[in-house]
A and B are shown apart, each in its own frame.
With several copies, the nearest count.
Chain A
C-alpha cells in the first residue's frame, strides 16, 4: 500500500496543452502513472502525448473513470478548474499552480471540504508513491520504494532530504509535498493520519518551515501516533516578521518561528535534524532499531 495514490489511480491533467502541463504529463506517463486524459477548454478532440484531450472535466471523467486530477492552470483560472474538477466526480485534486489568491483558496477550500474531496496544494509539487504512481512535478529518479512516508511544505528541500535517504538505502512509501501557502488542502496532520494508518509505512519524515502553526499542531497529533516521526524545520535564520504579520500571532497563538516549532516537536518526542542530511541518519537509527517510539 501507499497513501492516496497507487498503481491503479487514474489521473486527468488539467491544462495539459500548456507548457508545464504538457511537460509533466509526459514525465508522469514515463514514470508509469495511469494518466488517462487531458483537459483544456477549446482543445477538445485533440491529442497530447497520445492521450485524448477534452473540453471539460465532466466529459473527461465520464469517458475515462478517472479518480484524480492534477492542475496546471494559471492562477487566474485555477480556481475555476478546481471547481470543475470537484463537480466532475474525482476524489483527489492536486493543485500545482503557484500564486492562487488566498481569498480564492478560502472559498475553494470550503467548497471542496463540503464535498469531501481531498486536495493537495496549491503551490505544491504533488505526490509520488515510488514504483507505483507519481502525480506531481518532482523528479522521479531520486526516489526509491520503501517504508518511510515523507511529508513536506517545501519542494527542492524535500528532494534534498529524499536524495539523502535514497543514498542511505532508505526507501519511501509515499512522498507528499503539501505546499507552503497559507491555506492548503492537506496539512501535516492529514498526511500523518494517513501514514499512521498505512501498513506499508513504518516511519515518517516531516519537513516543515517557519510560519503558521501547522508544525505545532502536528506535534500534538504525533503524541498519539505509534509510528516514529523525525523532522527538519527550515528557516532558523529567516528574519522575523518577513512573512507573518502581527495578526497571525494573535490568531494562532504561536510565533511561528523555527525555535517554537522545534520546541513543540521535541516536546512531542520528535527528533529534529540540524540539516536535511540529518533526516537520513535519524531514520536509519529508527529503522535499524525497529523502534516503536
Chain B
C-alpha cells in the first residue's frame, strides 16, 4: 500500500523529521489559501502514485496567491501517466544547497533491511544506480541489532556535512528507520533529502510503501488511506477474499491460485488473446465468491468471454460449479463462458453444470484456444 507524499509527510512530522511547511488541497481555492499562508514561492505537487511526476508536469513553482490558484488548477484534473490528479500538496519552496538520497528497504535475497544512500539525490535513483553505481551506498541492517551509527557514518562523511548538519541528518535517518519498523513499511524513502542554504536538513519529498500483510496492526495508516483504498475495485475484491487486478484485454479470467492465474493469463497471450484481468479466487472458495468474481467480470465492459480455470485441491470443483450456476441464473451474463475444471470433485461439478450453456474443455491449452477463438469471431 503506497502512501501519498502528503500522507508520508504527516507521518514524518510525527517522528520529528523536518519537512517543508505546507498541506494538501483538493481545490485551487484551498491551494491558493495554503500558498498565501507563507512568504516566498510555493511548490505545487500532484499527489498520484506515478514515478517521474516532475518531468511529466506534475510539480510546479508558483508566486503569490493568484498564481498558486492558477497552477493548482492546471495540475488538478491533469492526466499523469493514466492517473487523474485529485489532490495537490502545496508547500513553501525551500532554498536548496545540496540534494541527497536516503531510503530503507527490504532486500529479499539477503533477507535483510538495507539502508540505501547517495550523495546524488533529487534524480531518479534507478538512473543513478545505472550511471554511477559507486555513488550509492548500501548498508545491511541485521534485524537483531537494528540501525547503528556505523551504518550511517559513511554517508555522512561522503555528504561532507558539518557537525551541526551531521547531527540533523543522523537524527532524520534514525527516525526514518524507526518509521520503517513501526509502520511495517516495505520502503521509506527521502529523495531528495535537502541541505538548505542556511544549513538545515529537510525531507523535501517522502515516499512510503506499507506491507499489506501488516495492515491489521497499522490502524492509523489504514484510517489515512481508507477512503482512497475502498474506492479501488482491487480492494473491494480483496475484502471478499479475491485478488483482482484489471488489465486491458477482453478475456476475463477466473482462476484459483495466484501462480495458476498468472499462467492462465500467459497461456491466453501465448495463443493470441489478451487477458482482461488477473483474478485469483483463492483456496476453499464458496459459491458466493464465484458469483462475486463473475460480477467483477461483468463490470468490465471490455470482457467478451470468460475463462474459468479451476484446479481442485482445497478448492472443491463442485463448490465452484454451484457458484457458477447461481451466477448464471441470477446475473444476466452476456458473454460465453469457457470452463476447465480438474481435481477434487470435478466429476460432481460436471454433473451440476450439465445442461448449462457453458463450454467445457479438459485442458488449460484447450480452454485457452477456445476462449481466444471465441473472441476472434
Contacts and interface: CB of A to CB of B under 8 A. Distances in A.
Contacts of B142: 87, 110-111
Contacts of A234: 259-260, 262-263, 266
B260 A114 contact: no
Contact count band on A = 35 or more
A230 to B, nearest CB: 15
Interface of B: 51, 103, 105-109, 111-114, 116, 125-126, 129, 136, 138, 140, 142-145, 148-150, 153-154, 157, 181, 184, 186-187, 189, 209, 211, 213-214, 216-217, 245, 247, 255-260, 262-263, 265-270, 275, 278, 283, 311-315, 342-344, 363-365
Given A137-B314, A252-B108, A275 B270 contact: yes
Interface in A38-88: 41, 44, 55-59, 75-76, 80, 83-84, 87
Contacts of B209: 245
A235 B187 CA distance: 23
A41 B126 contact: no
B257 A154 contact: yes
A207 B126 contact: no
A155 B211 CA distance: 22
Nearest to A110: B143
B366 to A, nearest CB: 10
A247 interface: yes
A127 to B, nearest CB: 14
B364 A275 contact: yes
A270 B275 CA distance: 28
17 contacts: A58-B150, A99-B213, A101-B211, A102-B184, A103-B143, A103-B214, A106-B106, A111-B142, A137-B283, A139-B312, A163-B342, A182-B106, A182-B186, A183-B108, A238-B278, A252-B109, A275-B263
Nearest to A153: B259
Contacts of B263: 157, 160, 232, 234, 275-276
Contacts of A180: 258-259
Contacts of B187: 245, 247
Given A110-B111, A110-B143, A250 B116 contact: yes
A226 interface: no
A183 B260 contact: no
Nearest to A253: B129
Nearest to A241: B51
A41 B152 CA distance: 11
Contacts of B189: 247
Contact of A55 (B140, B153, B213, B262): B153
Given A160-B260, A209-B259, A247-B105, 4 more contacts: A58-B154, A101-B217, A113-B111, A114-B144
Interface in A214-271: 214, 217, 232, 234-239, 242, 245-252, 258
A56 B154 contact: yes
Contacts of A284: none
B148 A248 contact: no
Contact of A156 (B140, B144, B260): B260
A138 interface: yes
A292 B242 CA distance: 43
Most A CB contacts (10 A, CB to CB) among B157, B189, B313 go to B313
B313 A139 contact: yes
Contacts of B143: 103, 106-107, 110
Contacts of A102: 106, 184, 186, 211, 213-214
Contact of B153 (A41, A213, A239): A41
A183 B259 contact: no
A134 B263 CA distance: 25
